[in-house]
Structure 1
Amino acid sequence: MLGTIVNSLAIIGGSLLGFVLKGGIPERVNDNIMKGLALCIMVIGISGAIKSENMILIICSIVIGALIGELIDIDKGLKKLGDNIEAKLQGKGGRVSEGFVTASLVYCVGAMAILGSLDSGLKGDYKILFTKAMLDGISAIMFTSTLGIGVALSAISVFAYQGTITLAASALQGILVGTVITELSAVGSLLIMGLAFNMLGLTKIKVANLLPAILIPILYHLIF
């Protein structure tokens, strides 16, 4: 769990630093930084999505995941949690709901979160998660300077998500083979692209309601 703990602390540390710097950054600079980050996230999403070798599986995963996500309405639940915290902060923490949801999705759906957690649980190797911690900490500064302290709450999502994979690594070893991770990462990369479009203000995709799509490649592998 050391890698996950370090990753979570890096996000909190970066968020606190970004919150301190927030007041000294002009609004137009914040807006430009946000758009620049969105473009970077877009590139990450594209690079991961094109690695898929089974596009039909990806399409089916998105469709089925969207159906499940809309029935559960994950997006509503996450936003409600963020809104409740934002109300308690009385507006002092910025756009808590948006920051929490955006950062949680960015930090959790990538391949490094899965591969790093597996290496941590199976081999006690923390190199991937330590690298991810550094990247997440730096991006947390930028995210918090534009979206507010809600970004820090994503550390809870990261700890729960990566911690669960780490603890269940032995059981998951036979399931998360190379092809499954590739397709799972491709689905996650599409979600990251949707998130980038939202950050640019081009769309209003409920990316959280597409999260169940990530599980479909695993179910496909188990069944077929």
Structure 2
Amino acid sequence: MPTGVIINALSVVLGGIFGGFFGEKLSDNFKKEITLIFGVCSMGMGISTIVLMKNMPAVVFAIILGTAIGLLLHVGEMVKTGATYMQKPINQLFGKQTELDAKEFQAQLVTIIVLFCASGTGIYGSLDSGMTGDHTILIAKSILDFFTAAIFACNLGYVVSIIALPQFVIFFLLFIFAKAIFPLTSPVMIADFKAVGGFLMLATGFRMVNIKQFPTADMIPAMVLAMPFSYLWTTVILPML
């Protein structure tokens, strides 16, 4: 039973509804300042997983090559297009809920799509949940996701709740295939994988506090390359050095 996956998806749904409903009652200054705090939390969580890194060259190479692949395949543009389609049915049901211009709306929505769906914590938590039945990681992530969804929904509206759909699909598939994937991994590979996810969360934090708009969506393919590169570095390259 994917209990952790369900709880995590529900936290995004409920957070989005809560923020969409109460958003107008909160001052713009409150929403701006609390978003900065969540950005700092994201950066802190990213740093806490980056320090777990075992093979720096493999992690760095995975991030650079993965981002290059994402840019060439226009992953970021595809996510932005998907974000626009997500907004349309919400606008038809509830009317336009945000005063943000289209560019800023897309930027914020892409930021939280990556944060909810492509974090190392969420992906590893889904694998761990499927393999061991321990849902602790995903439940802990759900707490942060609820409040993050609520705050962003104050600016973006109920559309934030829809992000729970792709999040659930991704995490559920990982949960299902965990028994096939997890035995092929090692503690070193998992640590490097979580480190790559940490870099994504760090970049997401920079976006949330408007320091730099890193191409976080285009960085997603790096998550796929993380474990294979870690394995190759450990078993093939290191013995040659």
TM-score (norm 2): 0.84
Q: Which 10-residue stretch deviates more, 49-58 or 92-101?
A: 92-101
Matching residue of 2:22: 21
Q: What do the CA deviations read for 1:53-76 (whole angstroms, capped 9, x no partner)? A: 211112111111011101111110
Q: What do the CA deviations read for 1:6-64 (whole angstroms, capped 9, x no partner)? A: 21112101110011110011112211111121111111111211221211112111111
Alpha-carbon distance, 1:207 to partner: 0.8
> 1:208 and 1:65 mapped to 2: Cα distance?
11
| Matched AA of 1:142 | I
Matching residue of 2:47: 46
1:177-196 pair list within 5 angstroms: 177-196=186-205
2:212 to 191, 203, 206: 203
Matching residue of 2:185: 176
| Matched AA of 1:23 | E
2:122 to 113, 129, 142: 113
> 2:86 and 2:97 mapped to 1: Cα distance?
9
Alpha-carbon distance, 1:172 to partner: 0.5
1:75-94 pair list within 5 angstroms: 75-88=76-89, 89=91, 92-94=96-98
Secondary structure of residue in 2 paired with 1:23: helix
> 1:62 and 1:17 mapped to 2: Cα distance?
35
Matching residue of 1:122: 131
Alpha-carbon distance, 1:163 to partner: 0.5
Instruction: Name which one, 1 or 2, has greater alpha-carbon Rg.
Output: 2
Alpha-carbon distance, 1:83 to partner: 1.7
2:167 aligned with 1:158, yes or no? yes
Alpha-carbon distance, 1:77 to partner: 0.6
> 2:97 and 2:75 mapped to 1: Cα distance?
23
Structure 1 residues 98 and 133, CA, compared in 2 at 3 Å: closer, same or farther?
A: same
Secondary structure of residue in 2 paired with 1:9: helix
* Stretches of structure 2 lacking an aligned partner (at least 5 in a row): 236-241
| Matched AA of 1:76 | E
> 2:171 and 2:45 mapped to 1: Cα distance?
20
Judge conservation of contact 1:98–1:150 (CA < 8 Å) in 2: no
Q: Which 10-residue stretch deviates more, 111-120 or 195-204?
A: 111-120
Judge conservation of contact 1:66–1:213 (CA < 8 Å) in 2: yes
> 1:209 and 1:84 mapped to 2: Cα distance?
19
| Matched AA of 2:213 | K
Alpha-carbon distance, 1:222 to partner: 5.2
Q: What do the CA deviations read for 1:84-136 (whole angstroms, capped 9, x no partner)? A: 33345166243663444222211233343233322332233333322322332
> 1:102 and 1:204 mapped to 2: Cα distance?
9
| Matched AA of 1:92 | K
> 2:125 and 2:200 mapped to 1: Cα distance?
20
Secondary structure of residue in 2 paired with 1:125: coil
> 1:129 and 1:211 mapped to 2: Cα distance?
19
> 1:99 and 1:40 mapped to 2: Cα distance?
16
Matching residue of 2:145: 136
Structure 1 residues 214 and 115, CA, compared in 2 at 3 Å: closer, same or farther?
A: closer
1:29-44 pair list within 5 angstroms: 29-44=30-45
Structure 1 residues 3 and 127, CA, compared in 2 at 3 Å: closer, same or farther?
A: same
> 1:68 and 1:57 mapped to 2: Cα distance?
16
Alpha-carbon distance, 1:193 to partner: 1.2
